[in-house]
Amino acid sequence: MTATADRATAGRKTPQVVDMSWDPITRIIGNLGIYTKIDFANREVTECRSTSSLFRGYSVFMRGKDPRDAGFITSRICGICGDNHTTCSNYAQQMAYGVKPPPLAEHITNLGEAAEYLFDHTIFQDNLVFVDFCEAMVKATNPGVLAKAERTEAPHAHVHGYRTIADLMRAFNPFEGAVYKEALQVSRITREMFCLMEGRHVHPSTLYPGGVGTMPSPTTFTDYLSRLMRTLDFVKKSVCMNDDVFDFFYEALPGYEEVGRRRIMLGCWGAWQDHQACDYRYENMNAWGKKMFVTPGIIVDGELVTNNLVDINLGMRILLGSSYYEDWVNEEPFVTRDPLGNPVDMRHPWNQTTVPAPQKRDFEGNYSWVMSPRWYDSASGQHLPLDTGGGPLARLWSTALNGLVETPYIKATGRSVRISLPKSEKLPEMTFEWEIPKWSNTLERDRARPYFVAYSAAMALQFAEQAMDLVRAGDTKIFNDYELPEEGIGCGFHEAVRGVLSHHLVIKDKKIANYHPYPPTPWNASPRDIYGNPGPYEDAVQGQPVFEENGPDDFKGIDIMRTVRSFDPCLPCGVHMYLGKGKELQQTHSPMFGAGNGTGAGHG
């Protein structure tokens, strides 16, 4: 189930295959290593393995805890998107406890999550991803492309103010570029927006099952809204800058659509609950899931397979494959049937038992601490290695295809998503349209990110207006009490910044009997499963062409790094490169390039 068809053999040269690895590409949820074989004669990656060298174990030590602590504990899974875990955990708990938060509490949670998307996507795209497309990097890897960029007018110069594509690339230069520095300011403002709603970034202090602890004074929402309006000029410019740069890459490097391209297998679990529809009852999950302001869905080969959260939940399978764990299928299940009476598979997260089995890494056997989540498609009988498209690509694709979302600022058309933003300080009211692309590849994952920032800003406007209407009407209730049940099950579905996030909870004797969070990392970074299917990182890199002009001796792996980063694998803060039989070419510990634009060879 690889990404693309085999390349034509005609005209191929005698292979010149070199082993190259980048390990670690560190990240919040673990240490990521990418091991490849590169054929420099035919300019392509022939093999890829994605490894993680860190075991976390949250599913192990959650057992026996008070379930009401789950949101606070699981937020520590990640130092970047911990609030997404708290929110998702609360969703699962609310299902298990049978409680629904008041409308204002739901708006406050949605406003906090919208601010998180604005913050995280901005800092990742503009301060991490764009370093791979900046003047210094392109000069070091594709000087011919930079020369063309100097001669190419930027189509949206009238919006963002940069005359040529090369001017944009200079604005992306780390530490010095104008866009790089402005993004840091926007990230500060959006983090303040988050803290107004959720108390503390990134481990919320005011989110609880049943509601929130945020004081709903009018100034809370006006302070949020004033900051949001200050970001809109940058949001509008970002969409246009991204389109200009990525369209240029397609034009300057014919065939670049193959970089990071894999078969379209996208998963989205939906985001932002509609308080009028969502009662958190499992029996009604299909109905209220379709009312989420990002529509859930599984997309295979461009077609919508399902948007039913019950089907999505029941189809989840946790496969071991090439990971360092012992199997649990012969143990007693925790859940045999869901609340609707449907059978629950032994490999479903409700029934999973985590039994770590440390061992030596073996690329012909087990080589990663990441398991292999798959979605079982009963129609085809296949275990699909879904990816998240870095989060925004799957969210926009699913919302567009479903055609269900229609708000004052957002319209899903069945083939696109239209996003309208009001007049801001310097720019007029503008409407952007994200159209379903031809490919699920590196550039489209990156392109979707600023569009979803605009989407998040538009939804934040709506949530803020609705919250202020409630406060003006005197409806300021923010919490509903509940009783902790002796037994219960729950599942929460949400979108972390990087994509699909689900929490699966089993309660017995008022304690956690089993708890499994499944964030986007296991889906995207999974190794080969028991059926031999590579995980999304592996699949996207393996088989992709190499456009970098450098040879093996000064190779930076820029096309590979662009592909891996397009999935948003958190903060890459150190890269090691190896050639052949372990010869180290270069080592760098800078988060970007280091001083002086660092055009050293080691960083992708």
Q: Is the peptide bond preceding residue 517 cis, with omega within 30 degrees of 0?
A: no
Q: Comparing C-alpha atoms, which of 189, 272, 516 is closest to residue 371? A: 516
Annotated binding site for Ni(2+): 78, 81, 570
- Average pLDDT of the segment spanning 531-558: 96
Among the listed residues 574, 536, 577, the one whose alpha carbon sits nearest the alpha carbon of residue 553: 577
The CA distance from 43 to 549, in Å, is 10
Q: Residues annotated as binding site? A: 78, 81, 570, 573, 576
Q: What's the whole-number mean pLDDT along residues 289-300?
A: 98
Characterise 489 by phi-psi region: left (phi > 0), alpha (psi -120 to 50), beta (else): beta
**DSSP labels, 369-408:** S--EEEEEETTTTEEE--B-TTTHHHHHHHHHHH---B-S
Indicate the SS3 state at residue 423.
Answer: coil
CB 109 within 8 A of CB 212: yes
pLDDT reported for residue 10 = 58
Least confident of 72-86, 481-495, 567-581: 567-581
| pLDDT greater than 50 at residue 574 | no
Orientation angle between helical segments 103-127 and 218-252, nearest 10 degrees: 40
Residue 593 and residue 604: Cα distance in Å, rounded?
Answer: 9
Residue 457 has pLDDT above 60, yes or no: yes
Which one has a higher pLDDT value, 28 or 485? 485
Beta bridge partners of 375: 316, 384
Strand 297-300 with 416-421, pairing: unpaired
Q: Decide if pLDDT at 579 tops 60.
A: no
Domain boundaries, given as residue ranges, for the chain:
58-524
Rounded to whole angstroms, the Cα distance separating 471 from 465 reads 10
Q: Which of helix, strand or coil describes residue 39? A: strand
Enumerate residues 6+ apart whose C-beta is below 8 A from 9: none
pLDDT confidence tier of residue 87, bands split at 50, 70 and 90: very high
> How far apart are the C-alpha atoms of 56 and 52, rounded to whole Å?
11
C-alpha distance from residue 343 to each of 51, 282, 319, 346, 351 (Å): 33, 14, 18, 9, 12
Tell me: cis bond preceding 202? Omega within 30 of 0 counts: yes
Dihedral of alpha carbons 45, 47, 50, 51, sign: negative
Query: For residue 86, which amino acid is it?
Result: T
Nearest of 360, 366, 285, 272 to residue 319 by alpha carbon = 366
Q: Are 484 and 510 in contact (CB under 8 A)?
A: yes
Report the alpha-carbon distance of residue 583 to residue 236 in Å, rounded: 46
Which is nearest to 191 in space by CA: 136, 118, 252? Answer: 118
Torsion of CA 599, 600, 601, 604, to 10 degrees: -60
What is the model's pLDDT at position 508? 98
The torsion angle over the Cα atoms of residues 278, 280, 285 and 287, rounded to 10 degrees, is -20
Two structure tokens written together for 596: 């002086």
Written as one string, the DSSP assignment of 221-264 is HHHHHHHHHHHHHHHHHHHHHHHHHHHHHHHHSTTGGGTT----
Furthest-apart CA atoms within the chain: distance in Å: 76
What is the assigned CATH class of domain 58-524?
Answer: mainly alpha
By mean pLDDT, which of 50-54, 222-226, 562-566 is the weakest?
50-54
CB-count exposure of residue 551 (10 Å: 0-12, 13-18, 19+): exposed
How do residues 328-344 score in pLDDT, each as one tens digit? 999 999 999 999 999 99
Q: Which two tokens stand for residue 579?
A: 């050639």
pLDDT at residue 599, as a whole number: 35
d(CA 254, CA 256): 6
Structure confidence at residue 598 (pLDDT): 38
Q: Binding site for Mg(2+), residues? A: 576
- DSSP readout, 534-592? PPHHHHHHTT-B------GGG---HHHHHHHHHT--S----EEEEETTTEEEEEE--SS
Determine the Cα–Cα distance for residues 154 and 170; give it in Å rounded to an integer: 13
| Residue 5 CB neighbours (<10 A) | 7
Grade residue 313 by pLDDT with cuts at 50, 70 and 90.
Answer: very high
Binding residues for Fe cation: 573
pLDDT over 90 (residue 596): no
Q: Does position 597 have pLDDT exceeding 50, yes or no?
A: no
With bands split at pLDDT 50, 70 and 90, how would you rate the model's confidence at 164? very high
Instruction: Determine phi and psi for 111, rounding to 5 degrees.
Output: -65, -40
Question: Of all residues in the chain, what percent carry a pLDDT higher than 70?
Answer: 92
Q: Which residues pair with 374 in a beta bridge?
A: 317
State pLDDT tens for residues 365-418.
999 999 999 999 999 999 999 999 999 999 999 999 999 999 999 999 999 999
Residue 60 pLDDT level (bands cut at 50, 70, 90): confident
**260 and 562 Cβ atoms separated by less than 8 Å:** yes
CA–CA distance, 405 with 407 (Å, rounded to integer): 7
Q: Which two tokens stand for residue 195?
A: 């803290």
CA distance 569 to 540: 14
Read off the DSSP letter of residue 12.
P
Lowest mean pLDDT among 74-88, 305-319, 393-407, 456-470: 74-88
pLDDT score of 582 more than 60: no
